[in-house]
Amino acid sequence: MADKIVISGTGLWLPEYTLTNEELVACYNEYVDVYNNTNAKEIQSGALSAKAYSSVEFIEKASGIKRRYIYQKKGILDLERMRPEIPKRNNDEISDQAEMAIHAAKDAMIKANKSAEDIDAVIVSCAYTQRSYPAIAIEVQAALGIEGFGFDMLVACSAGTFALQRGYEMVKAGTAKCVLMINPELTSPQVNFRDRDSHFIFGDVSMATIIESADTCTSNCSFEILSTKAFTKYSNNIRSNFGYVLNANDTKPLDDDQYFSQNGRTVYKEVCPMAAQHISAHLDELNLKNDQIKRWWLHQANINMNKLICRLLLNRDPSAEEAPIVLDEFANTASAGSLIAFHRYSDDFQPGEYGLICSFGAGYSIGSLIVRKL
């Protein structure tokens, strides 16, 4: 049984395309004009409601998002389509999501100074997987030449922290010596680009994290995982209905209720205090005080949520250094967000300093890890 369990390396892969708020708003507002003109009689009679325009100012104020990376930009700004055009691959070709995962995995392996022979478990954990089986993780495992086993996990925006907890537990128990955890977040196909309240929220990216025993760690930078904590409470306020039963339901995949949807105001009111309470309870378990935490790597969904959670914890606004924001560049990358923040903003830690990684989202689900620089 391993004594100390560490995060020994992280890797990040970015798609080649970016999509700005300005581009999204221009396309969306053009769609609004067409919709309102086409349905003018029904709108006038009250049978339908007119669609409202979006704006760059609205998006930034509501979310803090300025742009996002996109796996395939083609099709999204096409008024006749307004969804990404991702060519279908043959069964003997590597899947889109596995390819994304492999890029990030190789980066993390370099950072952790690990080869395929050193790793014996692969977890692909994200908001969506592009197919049910075979598991994306097993495809990645084969492509990287890793012996052992792999499996997929789906826990929406908490998929990253929940999978890190699984990896921590496996290394702790001795069922795996080194775990590669990957979040290939291909979220853009589930965005309704015709919906004013959600067309700007998500971006595509891939993150990878390596967990192992401190005894086998040879990387230049590692963080000991001191504790993990997970919590779920069922809620319909964040939902995605798309799934394999659609065909049996006689439901069309492009119907509005098959895309991501949320009751944003309710989520804000319910999740923020829930996340703050979860974090406080987690710190209490280790007898740690808030002022002992150098950095809060929080889920990157909405800047206003992150600020409120930090105010509830610190009784003041956090500094940019204390609670770094990456969603202005990446948008909401589901389970990858808090780990991108960790990846980007952990190099300045000195041995013995503490940090906290936390995700929160659909489910509701909340996951956290308390780490210390070695």
What is residue 247's predicted lDDT score, i.e. its pLDDT? 85
Task: State the pairing for strand pair 121-126/178-185.
Answer: parallel
What is residue 254's predicted lDDT score, i.e. its pLDDT? 78
pLDDT tens readout for residues 131-168? 999 999 999 999 999 999 999 999 999 999 999 999 99
Residue 259 counted as domain residue? yes
pLDDT above 90: percentage of residues in the chain: 95
Check: CB of residue 202 under 8 Å from CB of residue 301.
no
Residue 210 counted as domain residue? no
Q: Is the pLDDT of residue 255 over 90?
A: no
Residues in the chain: 374
- What does the block give as tokens for 229? 């904590």
Q: What is the mean pLDDT of residues 77-85?
A: 97
Average pLDDT of every residue of the chain: 96
Least confident among 251-265, 291-305, 356-370: 251-265
Residue 36 counted as domain residue? no
Residue 365 counted as domain residue? yes
Q: Which residue type is seen at 373? A: K
Residue 202 counted as domain residue? no
Q: What is the mean pLDDT of residues 57-74?
A: 97
Residue 319 counted as domain residue? yes
Number of domains in the chain: 1
pTM of the model: 0.96
Residue 151 counted as domain residue? no
Q: Is the pLDDT of residue 1 over 70?
A: no
CA angle 270, 243, 185 (to 5 degrees): 65
DSSP state of 148: S
In the residue annotation, 157 being an active-site residue is answered as yes
Check: CB of residue 300 under 8 Å from CB of residue 326.
yes
Q: Which residue type is seen at 268? A: Y
Q: How far apart are CA 298 and CA 305, in angstroms?
A: 10
Q: What is the mean pLDDT of residues 28-39?
A: 97
pLDDT above 70: percentage of residues in the chain: 100
Q: How far apart are CA 339 and CA 355, in angstroms?
A: 12
Q: Which residue in 336, 305, 333, 332 sits closest to 323, CA to CA?
A: 305
What is residue 3's predicted lDDT score, i.e. its pLDDT? 85
Among residues 27, 157, 178, 272, the one annotated as catalytic is: 157
Q: Which residue in 367, 229, 360, 370 sits closest to 290, CA to CA?
A: 370
What is residue 251's predicted lDDT score, i.e. its pLDDT? 85
Give the structural domain span for 233: 223-373
Check: CB of residue 155 under 8 Å from CB of residue 166.
no
CATH number of the domain where residue 335 is located: 3.40.47.10
What is residue 99's predicted lDDT score, i.e. its pLDDT? 98
Residue 299 counted as domain residue? yes
